[in-house]
Amino acid sequence: MKLSKKQFKQDFEQRLITKFATDVTKAGPQEKFAALASVVKNYYSKIWQADNEYKDESKKKQTYYFSIEFLPGKMLKSNLLNLGILPTVREGLEDLGVDLDEIAIIEPDMAIGNGGLGRLASCFMDSLASTGLPANGNGIRYRYGLFKQKIVDGYQVELPDSWLDNGNPWEVRRSDKAIEVRFGGEVWLEDDGKGNLIPQYKNQERVLAVPYDTPMVGYENTTVNNMCLWRSEVPKDLDLQFQNLEYMRQTAMLSSELYPDDSNYDGRLLRLKQEYFFVSAGLQRIMRHYHSTIKAPINQIAEYIAVHINDTHPALCVPEFMRLLVDEYNVPWDRAWDLTVKVMSYTNHTILSEALEKWPEDMVKTLLPRIYQIIVELDRRRTAELLPKVGATLVHNTRIIKDGQIHMANLSIIGSHSTNGVAKLHSDLLKDVELHDFYEIYPERFNNKTNGIADRRWSQIANERLSTVIDETIGKTWRHNLNDLKLLEAYKNDTETLERLDAAKFDDKQRLAELIKERNGITVNPEAIFDVQVKRLHAYKRQLLNVLHILKLYFDIKDNPELDMVPRVFIFGAKAAPGYHYAKSIIKAINEIAGMINNDPEVKDRIKVVFMENYNVSLAEVIIPAANVGEQISLASKEASGTSNMKFMLNGALTMGTLDGANIEIFDAVGAGNYFKFGLTKDEVYAYYKNNNYNARDIYEQNPVIHRILDAFIDGTIPNISMEGPEIFDSLTTYNDEYFVLRDFKDYVRAQKSLETLYRDKTAWTKATLMNIANSGRFSSDRTVREYAEDIWYIKPKQ
């Protein structure tokens, strides 16, 4: 949009008056933020309205992205950037004596997601709007987002994230579009005399779902999409006798808290209720819109809408869509099924068995009696139809209902026309191993969509310095088409460019060093290698491998106090699921090891270990630009994709990585000299499983370096740990090291040494940095969503 600085200043000052009866000299930071957000909202509202009108009139097919998590972070700068007014606003504020960054920091992170999957959903929301693709998010407006992490005495403590206390300037509550969702009660079918079976209900629990719409503003275009989040409320017309306290509490709980589990299935009833709540509300809203606006016959619905199931959490989309078609719109069963499969598509984000959702039949039957009937009928018909075609074994292995449980992945695959993994390796594993039986039956449904990131947030917003260097080197087209970063390659031997890249990185490291000083009270040297591992804490991600390497370096120094090594700052950021005891023990161990090393005068600042509290999107925006190295060290086959690996690459950090997830594609893109590869391959891992011949204790017994490091956990070397020490020690020895940490240790140390060698050659290092940036174009989520649009959703961009 066009906006003069003068106009902006006028708008901002005026808004301070109308909203708070104050002026720029007296307004507090919260007031300034609210006034600025309100001005920005005003700017995009007209575009939003116009785009809604365009969508209603053109009636072009739209995607509805159903996700139980979204993780957008702060929205102010992103909205300014996408409207094309970030510099104007920054300068206008400066004229008024206001620093944009000081206002932006006030906005709470919108953190209604755990990590990878939720952040991916938000990257997609940005990219869908920015590529002009008509799409909508659908989720839950949790009153409390992901917990805030405090470290107390080295331990993680969880505090509630009450992010809505000062209101949310971006959302629009649409009471007029509220929808009822019903649970429980009894259901039976009655013949209407014309041969139709009509479901009758009794004693259902009613919940009102109120939509809150948040605009997703496209980057310098005219698209503004919508992310719809549902809040649960008690229906207004409910008789007072039903309004008992317990019912009101239950209702509020539906949209009260995000489950803080990442990659772990939690079988609680409330979770299942949340899943049905946002699925039913979302699909009902789609149906209403279809009838009020699209006005096409119901049997053409697949030409107008696509529904995406983000992991299995919204898998109830399949039976709920069937219910709406069959019960509410009288579509014959077979036709309804055909439409459902055409409309639905599904993404799998993990192969970890403990993360796969299965719900007890009884629970589903009690909570969602009609949905249960539909699932039983789907399973019955499918079994009857497929038995003669593919045989009993395949049918049995792929049934929706097995051993008294409803398998949500099976439901999602069977009820949709597309199942994709999130990186090549992961998608291959789904086809060849994990979902092979499904692949035999429905080979055409399987495909890969390698993840991507909203590059504008991770470069233009998070790393303005680097962005400017890139502009000055190759011009600005990369801001619209990330593939143009390839132009940088022509400068890989250009000393001046390399020096400027290096200077930008140094600035970003200094900024992080200041934050570390402020938050952790630790002084770190910006000349040191900033070696970063930031992600959820999980055994398979192997933060422990990183820790063992740090201990090795520490003992190297203790053995040889004059050791010549490049100083390193090891930076961690990680939340553990509150119930994940082992992960919490690793956090405690990292903090105690940090204390031991940072305070040992003999180390002489050659190693610093920093655990940064409360890792979230905003912190990532400061940490990642400052990284020299990104640790992507999961056991091969376990990390479906990873996306922080892409963020590091785009910011000129080199990857220390296993051949897992999207790391492989990063390795292929940058080439062997610009990536530190180590560890078992997925085939080697699977061979260990097959032959059952891994013996971790042998490694502990036979490798004196490992022996000494592990003993540090149980012999009092690491201070202030109690049960955490033996717990970690036993996991690696007695319990045979589930994720092959000890097996990969030696090769990891080798790769770390070669990293150090390269870092000593500044020019060579920065050149590798440049090669990483230059080849990160493929990892824009603009590319990813275009692939989904073309291959899965069949939707077209505007214009």
Residues 786 and 131: beta-carbon distance below 8 Å: yes
Binding mask 232-261 for ligand 26Q (x = CB under 6 A): ---------------------------x-x
Binding ligand 26Q by CB under 6 A: which of 262, 531, 621, 737?
A: 262
Least Cβ distance, residue 538 to ligand 26Q (angstroms) = 8
Q: Which stretch binds ligand 26Q (CB under 6 A): 262-270, 382-390, 470-478, 739-747?
A: 262-270
Q: Which of 313, 370, 536, 783 is catalytic?
A: 536
Least Cβ distance, residue 545 to ligand 26Q (angstroms) = 17
* Binding residues among 84-103 for ligand 26Q as defined by CB under 6 A: none
Amino acid symbol at 731 = S
Least Cβ distance, residue 628 to ligand 26Q (angstroms) = 22
Binding ligand 26Q by CB under 6 A: which of 137, 145, 661, 679?
A: 661
Least Cβ distance, residue 261 to ligand 26Q (angstroms) = 4
Binding mask 464-483 for ligand 26Q (x = CB under 6 A): --------------------
CB-count burial class (<10 Å; 0-12, 13-18, 19+) for 564: exposed
**What tokens were used for 205?**
């629990």
Residues 62 and 134: beta-carbon distance below 8 Å: yes
User: Which position's Cβ is nearest ligand 26Q?
Assistant: 116
- Strands in 84-204 per DSSP E: 110-112, 135-140, 145-152, 155-161, 172-173, 179-183, 186-191, 197-202
Binding mask 563-592 for ligand 26Q (x = CB under 6 A): ------------------------------
How many angstroms separate the Cα of 383 from the Cα of each of 19, 325, 397, 627? 62, 22, 11, 53
Helix (H, G, I), strand (E, B) or coil at 192: coil
Q: Say whether residue 348 binds ligand 26Q (CB under 6 A).
A: no
Q: Say whether residue 265 binds ligand 26Q (CB under 6 A).
A: yes
CA atoms within 13 A on the CB side of 482: 29
* Binding residues among 422-451 for ligand 26Q as defined by CB under 6 A: 422, 451
Nearest alpha carbon to residue 529 among 494, 561, 501, 565: 565
Measure the CA–CA gap between 671 and 3, rounded to whole angstroms: 44
Interhelix angle for 495-520 vs 762-774, to 10°? 90
Question: Based on CB atoms, which residue is closest to ligand 26Q, 421 or 652?
Answer: 421
536 catalytic? Reply is: yes
In the β-sheet with 676-677, what is the strand arrangement from edge to edge? 607-612, 568-573, 529-534, 629-632, 654-657, 676-677
Binding ligand 26Q by CB under 6 A: which of 79, 350, 717, 780?
A: 350
505 catalytic? Reply is: no
Measure the CA–CA gap between 159 and 616, rounded to whole angstroms: 14
Binding mask 295-314 for ligand 26Q (x = CB under 6 A): --------------------
Q: Which of 74, 407, 535, 538 is catalytic?
A: 535
Q: Which stretch binds ligand 26Q (CB under 6 A): 110-118, 385-393, 508-516, 748-756?
A: 110-118
Binding ligand 26Q by CB under 6 A: which of 73, 92, 115, 652?
A: 115
Q: Which of 349, 509, 584, 606 is catalytic?
A: 349
- The angle formed by the CA atoms of residues 380, 202 and 247, to the nearest 5 degrees, is 110
Q: Which position has the token pair 């998070």?
A: 462
**What tokens were used for 794?**
């069949």
Q: Say whether residue 752 binds ligand 26Q (CB under 6 A).
A: no
Least Cβ distance, residue 389 to ligand 26Q (angstroms) = 33
Amino acid symbol at 120 = L
Least Cβ distance, residue 353 to ligand 26Q (angstroms) = 12
Q: Which stretch binds ligand 26Q (CB under 6 A): 265-273, 377-385, 685-693, 719-727?
A: 265-273
Given phi > 0 = left and psi -120 to 50 = alpha, else beta, which region is 362? Answer: alpha
**By CB under 6 A, how many residues form the interface with ligand 26Q?**
24
Measure the CA–CA gap between 760 and 775, rounded to whole angstroms: 23
Residues 408 and 312: beta-carbon distance below 8 Å: yes
Least Cβ distance, residue 447 to ligand 26Q (angstroms) = 15
308 catalytic? Reply is: no
* Binding residues among 624-643 for ligand 26Q as defined by CB under 6 A: 639-643
Nearest alpha carbon to residue 168 among 33, 278, 14, 274: 33
DSSP code for 769: H
Least Cβ distance, residue 352 to ligand 26Q (angstroms) = 8
Least Cβ distance, residue 149 to ligand 26Q (angstroms) = 17
449 catalytic? Reply is: no
Q: Say whether residue 711 binds ligand 26Q (CB under 6 A).
A: no
Binding ligand 26Q by CB under 6 A: which of 35, 86, 100, 120?
A: 120
Q: Say whether residue 659 binds ligand 26Q (CB under 6 A).
A: no
Q: Say whether residue 420 binds ligand 26Q (CB under 6 A).
A: no
753 catalytic? Reply is: no
Q: Say whether residue 743 binds ligand 26Q (CB under 6 A).
A: no
How many angstroms separate the Cα of 4 from the Cα of each of 10, 623, 754? 10, 33, 52
Q: Say whether residue 421 binds ligand 26Q (CB under 6 A).
A: no
Element at 407 (helix H, strand E)? strand 405-407
What are the residues whose beta carbons fall under 8 Å from the beta carbon of 114, sequence distance 6 or more? 69, 71, 146, 258, 259, 260, 261, 262, 536
Q: Which of 647, 682, 767, 778 is catalytic?
A: 647
Measure the CA–CA gap between 475 and 777, rounded to whole angstroms: 15
Least Cβ distance, residue 597 to ligand 26Q (angstroms) = 30
Asked whether the CA dihedral 22, 25, 28, 30 is positive or negative, the reply is positive
Q: Say whether residue 452 binds ligand 26Q (CB under 6 A).
A: no
575 catalytic? Reply is: no
Q: Say whether residue 357 binds ligand 26Q (CB under 6 A).
A: yes
Question: Based on CB atoms, which residue is closest to ligand 26Q, 271 or 511?
Answer: 271
Measure the CA–CA gap between 37 and 19, rounded to whole angstroms: 11
Least Cβ distance, residue 355 to ligand 26Q (angstroms) = 5
Amino acid symbol at 553 = L
Element at 232 (helix H, strand E)? strand 224-233
Q: Which stretch binds ligand 26Q (CB under 6 A): 57-65, 116-124, 286-294, 714-722?
A: 116-124
* Residues forming the site for ligand 26Q (CB under 6 A): 114-117, 120, 259, 261-263, 265-266, 271, 349-350, 355, 357, 422, 451, 639-643, 661
Question: Which residues are the active-site residues?
Answer: 349, 535-536, 541, 643, 647
